[in-house]
């Protein structure tokens, strides 16, 4: 099989070929490492490439398979956003202040991935401390569908790596949409699990009450595989939910015919570019033919998402960074430093009011999910912005980050599981994402629906232009 075909296999197909001994883990690792050397100088998806360690781990996985050991992640190369602690390997958080930070232990989810046999190929680029802007030392990750466009923040490196065939899957983090936005912009499946489903122990925080971790993959099936490996209670994470995780993969091919879908009309209108709306509505039409019911839904208070999420992020981030900001302010980029200083001035009453209003938004989504199994809307109302373009929407005066979080931030505030899938493409060949939001701890349903939609589309196998 040509190297390009190997590199663009789904994670699930890679595992199948490993099971059948049609390819070795070492071959997969070497193919990806060669592609990284060719393409990443243009994409800037990786901060650290673990070439020698990846090949050695792949050899160990091949030896295990030769003994009859099996596993959906055994020997499969994946990447990690560079805020997951990795024992003996730099974890920079995309920040100058942590450029030489070498943890002594793995994050819980990294340990679980390794226990499942995954081969860690590298640490991916990200916005500085996941706070909306790249540090100049690390630079912006470019989108494989258009090198003049962003791959999204803050897990853009993970998204670009999977999109361009430089990893079979990757972990990202999501505080206001930082898994789902890059997934939408790069045409991937990006899953933000329920709050507390996957441990954040050993993960650099941005905002404790909003942070989630989850996978970016080429398909919903692949996302289910990674979720099943990392999910579960962890007493080391105070927010970890002591709720049994029923594996999502066994039900991924299940029937979706009886599902009830609620279409959030407001989010098909607000700031939505005409082509994005057109592609998303075409996807809805296809879903309508697959499920039992698609109706309009109108959860209240969604216009409050940005006013609510902003003081929470700013105050919680400022609390975490206060010691370093006081002693090493010059090591932060100007944008992040300014945001942290603003956060330090948030009055306690504003933070408390935001958390109270957050409850209103959560209650509205909960009420809607009593009538529907899944809520849907465009993951982002815009296509991937051109790098350096920070104003968008009709007036060209609205901040890109505000427009993005107005959609994806809902599920961070409420904690519900949310999956972005590839809905289609604009005439210019740019991906559009559709978000599926489900009931708490019911990742299986949104993954099953995402998988059904993906397997019903021919264009879902479309690849980005070759880079390098």
Q: Which residues pair with 124 in a beta bridge?
A: 46, 81
Give the count of alpha carbons within 13 A of 113, CB side only.
Answer: 28
In the residue annotation, 81 being an active-site residue is answered as yes
Q: Any idea what DSSP says for residue 88?
A: T
The H or E element that residue 173 is part of is strand 169-174
* Overall size of the chain counted in residues: 468
Picking from 72, 73, 58, the residue whose alpha carbon sits closest to that of residue 27 is 58
Residue with tokens 């091919």: 253
- Whether 403 and 271 have beta carbons less than 8 Å apart is answered as yes
Q: Residue 328 — φ and ψ, nearest 5°?
A: -135, 50
Out of 12, 81, 155, 173, the active site residue is: 81
End-to-end CA distance of the chain: 20
Q: Any idea what DSSP says for residue 207?
A: -
Q: Which residues pair with 272 in a beta bridge?
A: none
Residue with tokens 């995309």: 94
Q: Residue 93 — φ and ψ, nearest 5°?
A: 65, 20
Inter-CA distances, 90 with 66, 162, 321, Å: 32, 21, 19
Q: Any idea what DSSP says for residue 235?
A: T
Out of 10, 154, 173, 333, the active site residue is: 154
Helical H segments across 128-175, by residue range: 156-163
- Whether 226 and 73 have beta carbons less than 8 Å apart is answered as yes
Q: Residue 376 — φ and ψ, nearest 5°?
A: -130, 150
In the structure encoding, which two tokens stand for residue 468, read together? 């390098």
CA pair distance 181, 177, nearest whole angstrom: 6
CA pair distance 92, 124, nearest whole angstrom: 10
Residue 295, classified by CB atoms within 10 Å of its CB into exposed (0-12), middle (13-18) or buried (19+), is exposed
CA pair distance 444, 223, nearest whole angstrom: 10
DSSP string of 230-288?
HBS--TTSTT--------SGGGTTS--TT-EEEEEGGGGTTT--HHHHHHHHHHHHHHH
Picking from 434, 455, 437, 428, the residue whose alpha carbon sits closest to that of residue 143 is 428
Which residues are known catalytic residues?
A: 81, 154, 178
């Amino acid at each position: 099989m040509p190297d390009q075909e190997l590199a663009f296999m789904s994670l699930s197909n890679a595992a199948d070929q490993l099971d059948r001994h049609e390819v070795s883990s070492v071959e997969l690792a070497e193919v990806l490492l060669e592609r990284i050397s060719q393409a990443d100088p243009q994409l800037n998806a990786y901060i650290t490439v673990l070439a020698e360690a990846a090949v050695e781990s792949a050899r160990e996985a091949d030896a295990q398979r030769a003994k009859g050991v099996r596993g959906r992640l055994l020997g499969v190369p994946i990447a990690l956003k560079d805020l997951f602690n990795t024992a003996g390997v730099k974890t920079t958080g995309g920040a100058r202040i942590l450029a030489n930070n070498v943890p002594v232990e793995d994050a819980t989810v990294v340990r679980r991935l390794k226990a499942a046999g995954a081969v860690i190929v590298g640490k991916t680029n990200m916005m500085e401390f996941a706070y909306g802007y790249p540090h100049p030392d690390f630079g912006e990750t470019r989108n494989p569908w258009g090198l003049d466009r962003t791959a999204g923040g803050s897990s853009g490196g993970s998204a670009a790596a999977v999109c361009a065939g430089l990893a079979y899957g990757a972990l990202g983090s999501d505080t206001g949409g930082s898994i789902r936005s890059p997934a939408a912009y790069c045409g991937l499946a990006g899953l933000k699990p329920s709050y507390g489903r996957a441990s954040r122990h050993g993960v650099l925080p941005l905002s404790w009450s909003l942070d989630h971790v989850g996978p970016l993959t080429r398909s919903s099936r692949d996302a289910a595989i990674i979720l099943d490996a990392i999910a579960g209670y962890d007493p080391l994470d105070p927010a970890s939910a002591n709720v049994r995780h029923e594996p999502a993969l066994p039900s991924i091919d299940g029937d979706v015919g009886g599902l009830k879908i609620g279409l959030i009309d407001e989010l098909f209108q607000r700031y939505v570019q005409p082509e994005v709306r057109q592609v998303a509505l075409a996807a809805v039409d296809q879903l309508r033919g697959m499920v039992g019911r698609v109706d309009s839904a109108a959860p209240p208070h969604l216009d409050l998402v940005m006013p609510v999420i902003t003081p929470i992020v700013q105050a919680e981030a400022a609390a975490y960074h206060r010691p370093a900001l006081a002693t090493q302010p010059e090591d932060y980029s100007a944008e992040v430093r300014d945001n942290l200083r603003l956060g330090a001035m948030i009055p306690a009453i504003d933070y408390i009011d935001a958390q109270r209003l957050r409850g209103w938004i959560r209650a509205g989504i909960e009420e809607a999910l009593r009538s529907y199994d899944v809520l849907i809307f465009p993951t982002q109302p815009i296509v991937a912005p051109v790098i350096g373009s920070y104003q968008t929407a009709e007036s060209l005066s609205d901040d890109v980050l505000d427009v993005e979080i107005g959609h994806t931030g809902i599920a961070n505030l409420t904690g519900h599981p949310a999956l972005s899938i590839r809905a289609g493409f604009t005439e210019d060949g740019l991906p559009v994402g559709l978000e599926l939001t489900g009931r708490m701890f019911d990742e299986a349903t949104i993954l099953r629906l995402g998988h059904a939609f993906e397997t019903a589309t021919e264009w879902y196998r479309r690849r980005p232009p070759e880079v390098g």
